[in-house]
Structure 1
Amino acid sequence: MPDRRAGSPELRGDCARCFGLCCVALPFAASADFALDKPAGTPCRNLADDHRCGIHAELRQKGFTGCTVYDCFGAGQKVSQVTFGGQDWRTGTREDARRMFDVFPVVRQLHELLWYLTEALGLPAARPLHADLREFLDATERLTRRSAGELAALDVAAHRQEVNVLLLRTSELARAGVRGKKKDRRGADLIGARLKGADLRGASLRGAYLIAADLTGADLRGADMIGADLRGADLTDADLTGAFFLTQPQLNGARGSIGTRLPESVTHPVHWAAGR
């Protein structure tokens, strides 16, 4: 039986049960986030024989900040151990490896949806939608267990759209219970915005660009954070208690402090304590 709790281990990457898929299947370009170019399907030069990162403890210092931000939501171990039954891409055929690399991003998207649906089911205000949420949760879980061929052919974008309609309704119900005027900043360009101490209680920040925004001491209680780009945003002493659809990768890309208050489903990134 799947663990149906927001932030459950099943929906977090477990490198010990994966074959380093994110280090091979995905491409990245030399930038502030990555020290070099790497095409899709090519192992990162830092990937060790045991499928672990050879510089894991020094990723930020060596120019691989993007790796510290990423999380597969448990898709890596699902593809490695379930879809391909524990078959290592290094020991199979080239075709087997290619299929594994093609399937991984699809399952990653499905697992991200599982995260949101699981969290939505934990919101008391969304009780009127719980039956529909459970139906979509079960359907999405079943999709993740399809064969490699079926997953490769799946129209995951269409499924995401169907789920998103339900998540929007969930957001409306959850934010309706927050007192005061609720700002709608959905998709807003707030790059570098000065929002220190801002009252964003119950705000919709879905898909908002908050890159390098100053959110120190901001009140984000009960805000919808789905898809908000928090790269470089300063969340020092901000209050995100009750904020929902907030994921660990979003926080990993931001800055914050021990005084930043977070929902129980996520944790303070290690680099916050180090001030990096």
Structure 2
Amino acid sequence: MRQDLQADCGSCFGLCCVALPFAASRDFAADKAAGEPCGNLRGDFTCGIHARLRESGYPGCTVFDCFGAGQKVSQRTFGGTSWREAPGTAREMFAVFPVMRQLHELLWYVEEALTLPAARPVHGELRRMLAGLEGLTDSAADALAKVDVPAVRAEAAALLARASELARAAAVPGVRRDHRGADLMGRRLRGADLRGASLRGALLVAADLRGADLRSADVTGADLRDAQLAGADLTGCLFLTQSQLNAARGDATTRLPAGLGRPGHWAQGS
């Protein structure tokens, strides 16, 4: 994946720590309103507890990924001038960031779809979608704030679903399970054969997927918080993100797709 779709916190004005809200819960130790700087944000836009977020009650921060939107808004859209240097830009900057984040996430998915040989019949449409998304991300702040994100996501989702179907059919011919949007929270799926399954948007919180075969499954937007992945085979999983892995529980026997890393906290069983 392109470097500019990977978060570069050193080039960002701490936007995820200010623009987005969070509520006191198992994921966050305190309440914070949108536009209010997190109490752990330092003057240089670094996090004062970054090395111990989980232990400090902020595991939610460890699974967030802006897909490079933070540095794009900070350095390109607003020309490298921070909201602290120009307070008058703060409201607009904070409003633009979540829009850019969603556009960058779609760029990440579209670029992955373009790497799937079996999805070649829709590569032309994917390239046009890619160009359109890139054009939107290069827009001025006022234009970005007006982007109809739900409409853009719906158009991209339909195209990505077609690419997914082509790729999964090539990898796993025949009948494949369809769990799109299914509520599988806490479900016992240990050792399940989910090869080529569609798990798009599925709720898999705390699901037992130990030893499950998820090869070539589509996990776009699946909620894997606390899902047990020890011994599971995720080889070739479609649209699996690092943040999804960071939210799950795996171990040294979990097989991962190329390009994704094994979260450090897995080895500690947390």
> What is the TM-score normalised by the length of structure 1?
0.96
Q: Which residue of 2 aligns with 1:256?
A: 250
- How much is the aligned-residue C-alpha RMSD, in angstroms? 0.9
How do residues 156-235 of structure 1 correspond to structure 2 at under 5 angstroms? 156-177=149-170, 178-235=172-229
The offset of 1:181, in angstroms, is: 2.8
Q: Which residue of 1 aligns with 2:11?
A: 17
Equivalent-residue separation in structure 2 for 1:179 and 1:265 (angstroms): 25
Letter in 1 for 2:100: V
Which of the numbers 143, 152, 165 marks the counterpart of 1:150?
143
Equivalent-residue separation in structure 2 for 1:265 and 1:174 (angstroms): 18
Which of the numbers 253, 257, 262 marks the counterpart of 1:268?
262
Q: Which residue of 2 aligns with 1:109?
A: 102
The offset of 1:180, in angstroms, is: 4.8
How do residues 70-149 of structure 1 correspond to structure 2 at under 5 angstroms? 70-93=64-87, 95-149=88-142
Q: Which residue of 1 aligns with 2:47?
A: 53
Equivalent-residue separation in structure 2 for 1:211 and 1:180 (angstroms): 28
The offset of 1:251, in angstroms, is: 1.0
SS in 2 for 1:184: coil
Which of the numbers 215, 235, 246 marks the counterpart of 1:241?
235
**Structure 1 gap ranges (5+):** none
> What is the TM-score normalised by the length of structure 2?
0.98
Equivalent-residue separation in structure 1 for 2:57 and 2:100 (angstroms): 28
Equivalent-residue separation in structure 2 for 1:179 and 1:168 (angstroms): 17
Q: Which segments of structure 1 move beyond 2 Å, counting only runs of 4 or more?
A: none
Equivalent-residue separation in structure 1 for 2:267 and 2:50 (angstroms): 17
SS in 2 for 1:201: coil
The offset of 1:240, in angstroms, is: 0.6
- Asked whether 1:33 is paired with 2:30, we answer no
The offset of 1:265, in angstroms, is: 3.1
SS in 2 for 1:262: coil
The offset of 1:11, in angstroms, is: 1.1
